Each structure stands twice: as structure tokens, then as C-alpha cells.
Structure 1
């Protein structure tokens, strides 16, 4: 059993690079996912994951599968979509969720069209679903930099982020850092989605951000514990997904996300705040 779990990472360098990449992504993106969930912006994260596609596709159109151009393009596109959706929601009658949905649908279509102009269906699948087993040193350096920047920003803005999750109006009334916290956090979301894009593609990168966070919510109410648990779930799910993809010849990205999805469903049922616990508590109250 130990040989089945360890030997793929010992024998193959590409498996070690993949494992390092998803561990770094879990450490970085899972806490961001916790705050997205607490701010009730989970679907906004999904929309922003698609929003980076036109920029990444433009980088691919001009330079091929080069990491730096695709990353810079994805960052620019994500920031533009986030700012555009926010401006529409503030200057018109349309709510932010509707404007974000409109922007992401347009971005997804434009991105697919751009990739199709130059690349093949294989290139399109690479952009949409990533290739975690093909991570190179350049990609790992980028992901490591994103992880360090994210953790540093979270530590600096920790109290502000928690305050904005609980009562953003109160934070704005007592402090001038409310807008700064909001826009820095949106920047962290885009940055981590771009990092996740290198491994999991634009369609699946948000999965590693949100599923571990959603699963951790069923086990604890403390934000710091929730973040640590989400990281642990992300790392465990990523490792399990890589092993499944290796032993059963499955696509690695979907295997990782489905592993996280399995943990999520287990948490729904057996978590300290899950369905079974709620049913047992209700039964005790009725019989008391």
C-alpha cells in the first residue's frame, strides 16, 4: 500500500513537480476560497475564473504556450472584467451578480474563439483544463511567487478581511481601509486563478479554490481553523487525484477536483455541522 502511494512521486520527476505545484496552489488558493465563501462571492469566483480566458488566449495567440505572456494576459483580463462588472453594478440598475455573469459569458466565448484561431482542439483542452502533469520549473516558480504574495497579503489584511466578511458597512464607517481591502482581495482572487490556470485550466482552477473551503465550513466556525482545514483538504485531494490519475490513467485535473468533491459530500453528511449532526440534534431535542 505504501509503495502505491509513494512510488509514483519517487520514481517520476513530473509527478513530484505536479505534487509541488498543487500543494503550493492549495496553500495559496484555499484560504482565498474561504473568504470568497464567507463573503458570499463563490459564484463570482467561478465567473472570474472564466474571465481570465481571453487574456490567456491572447497570450497563446501571440506567443504560443509561453507561461509569462499567458499569465500577464490572464491577469489583465481578470482585472478588467472585475472592474467592468463592478462599474456596471454601481452606475446602472443591474446587480453585480448579473453583470459578472454577462462579462464572464462574453469572456469565455471570446477566449475560446481566440484559441481556435491559432490552435487545435488539443491546445483548447490545455487552456480550458490545464495540464498539471506538465508543470515545468518556470510554472512552479510562478505559482510559488503567487503563494508567497497571497500569504503575505492575507497576514497583513487578516483583520480587515474578517471585518468585511462580518459587516462591510461597519468597516467603512470606522476605517478607510474598506475599499483597499476589497480591491486587494479581488486582486488575490484573480492572481490565484491565474496560478491555478497553469495547472488546472480556466474551467477547473476555481474548483481547488472553492471545494476545500466549502467542505471545511461543515467542520468549524472559526475562520483561522477553517483556512487551515481547507488547505489540508486541498493538499489531500490534490495528492489523491494525482495518484488516481497515475494508477487508473485518468485526466489529472478532473481527478483532483472530483477528489475534493468527494470530501465535500462526506463533509455534508458527517461534518460537525453536517446533515447527520443536525438530524441527531433535532432528534435529541424532540425526545428531551
Structure 2
């Protein structure tokens, strides 16, 4: 098998592969930078919690309109925002921390979503919602993903400075009247929006993978915010590209294949990353001991 047949032929010969690649490009450009801010704000597990919260809303959309992407997306977006607001309110009026409330709500949401789909659909429908099918992305779904990516990139550009400051020193932002709570809510809306866009292709369980794994991997290589955003996007693009090829040539489901490739980048970064990888840390420790 030559280079063309291995890497280019699937995208040149099949429309569904081109649609899938376009959707991954859009998701990488928008979701990976959002993942970087989640890592910087130590909210990595919040992304996972919100991805599960999307499921009952998507299930309600499915019950009302069948496998309609606009209906399921709208339901998922409303459910995700509702869970984020409820978790924040419970944290404010009780002694529980926000992460504990997110965990409680997302576990409940996942159970509700699975029950709704199981009672009103089939196992195939449930698997589609949980794991997605990037190879089944059509033009309307791609347009929805592209719209979410455009909105995310624009809003991140507008709120970049206060968001970075709120991530690094929220007390200072509060002291100068920077409305940190407002930027936090806007950011959570972006997280939910990208998870909803991602579930079109990767399912509710896999969509958070393309958001978090490239961002976590990039953090092991670079420290500057600009380089973090760029490297995480590039890793997400590579993970999506090679994951699609892996799925095409082996018949492994596309969503898990993409996340497996991103996971492979993460494991490589854990070992060889120059900003905290095992080898770099060992070399620094050895240098200090010899000095």
C-alpha cells in the first residue's frame, strides 16, 4: 500500500470521509483551546461532567423529533447550561464544593439520559448518542459544528484577556471590578456549546476527549498561553486525522479511534514532554544531584 492509498485516497474518494475530516478540523479549532482554559483553571473534570449532562437533553430532542441534529443539539445545550447553573447555585447555598455538585449532577444526568433513550428508542440509538459516528456527519450537522466553532473562536478572542486573568489570578480580577463571575458563566456556555457540537460526531461520552486530551498533552510540552493554544489545536487535528484513517483501515468505530490517537499523544507526552514529562523530570533531578 503506497502513501496515496494509505493517507489520501480515503478523503479523495469518499464524501463521508471529507465531511468527517471537516468536522474534526472545526472541532479541533474550537474545542482544543477551550480545553486549554479548562486545564489552566483546574476544571478538567468539569468538562467530563458537562459532556454527560448533554445526554438527557439530547434524549428529549430525540424523543420529540427523532434523529434530528438541530433538535438534539438544542436539547443538549439547554440541559448542559441548566446543569452548570444548578451546580453553581447548589455550591453557593450549601457547603458542597462545585466539583462535588458537578459529579452528583452528571451521574444523575447520565442515568436519566440512558433511561430516556432506552425506553423510547433502540440500543442502536443509545450507542449513537453515547459514542456518535463521525463518519455519518452530513452537511447540516457539519454546518452546525462549523457555526459553533466560529462563535467559539470569536467569543474567545473577545474575552481572552479577562479569561486569562480570571484563570491565573481571580482575586485580582475581582479586586479591580473585572466581573469574574460573568466571564466564568460565558466560558461555561462555550464549554457546553463545544460539547454539543462534538457529540454530533463523537457522542456524549467521547466528545470531551478531543477537548481535553490535546490540551493536557500540550501542557507537558509548552508553558506560554499562545503556544499552548496552538499546540493543542495541532494535536487535536493530528489525532482526528490519524484517528479517521485508523478507523477507515481497520473498521474500528471512528469516535473511539480518534480518542485513542489523542490518548497515544498523551502517553508519549507523559514520557517525553519537556515541561514535566518523566524523562525531562528525571534528567533535571539527575542534573541537580550531580551539581
Q: Deviation of residue 282 (structure 1)?
A: 1.2
Partners of 1:235 and 1:164 in 2: CA distance: 28
Partners of 1:265 and 1:160 in 2: CA distance: 32
Is residue 2:272 matched to residue 1:284? no
**Contact 2:26–2:145 under 8 Å retained in 1:** yes
Partners of 2:150 and 2:97 in 1: CA distance: 34
- Correspondence for 2:226 among 221, 224, 227: 224
Cross-structure match for 1:275: 278
Partners of 1:191 and 1:175 in 2: CA distance: 27
Is residue 2:3 matched to residue 1:2? yes
Mark the runs of 5 or more structure 1 residues left unpaired by the alignment.
none
**Contact 2:41–2:167 under 8 Å retained in 1:** yes
Q: Deviation of residue 211 (structure 1)?
A: 0.1
Mark the runs of 5 or more structure 2 residues left unpaired by the alignment.
none
Partners of 1:34 and 1:264 in 2: CA distance: 14
Q: Say which SS state the counterpart of residue 221 (structure 1) adopts.
A: coil
Partners of 2:177 and 2:240 in 1: CA distance: 39
Q: Deviation of residue 84 (structure 1)?
A: 0.3
Deviations 1:107-155 (A, max 9, x none): 0011011111221100000000001000000001001100010000111
**Contact 2:46–2:102 under 8 Å retained in 1:** yes
Q: Say which SS state the counterpart of residue 52 (structure 1) adopts.
A: helix
Cross-structure match for 1:38: 40
The TM-score, its normalising length taken from structure 1, stands at 0.99
Is residue 2:249 matched to residue 1:247? yes
Partners of 1:84 and 1:284 in 2: CA distance: 50
Cross-structure match for 1:207: 209
Over aligned residues, Cα RMSD in angstroms?
0.7
Is residue 2:168 matched to residue 1:171? no
Cross-structure match for 2:107: 105
Q: Say which SS state the counterpart of residue 75 (structure 2) adopts.
A: helix
Note the 1:161-200 alignment, pairs <5 A: 161-200=163-202
Q: Say which SS state the counterpart of residue 209 (structure 2) adopts.
A: helix
**Contact 2:163–2:183 under 8 Å retained in 1:** yes
Partners of 1:64 and 1:141 in 2: CA distance: 19
Partners of 1:75 and 1:6 in 2: CA distance: 35
Partners of 1:205 and 1:281 in 2: CA distance: 36
- Correspondence for 1:158 among 160, 184, 187: 160
Q: Deviation of residue 177 (structure 1)?
A: 2.9
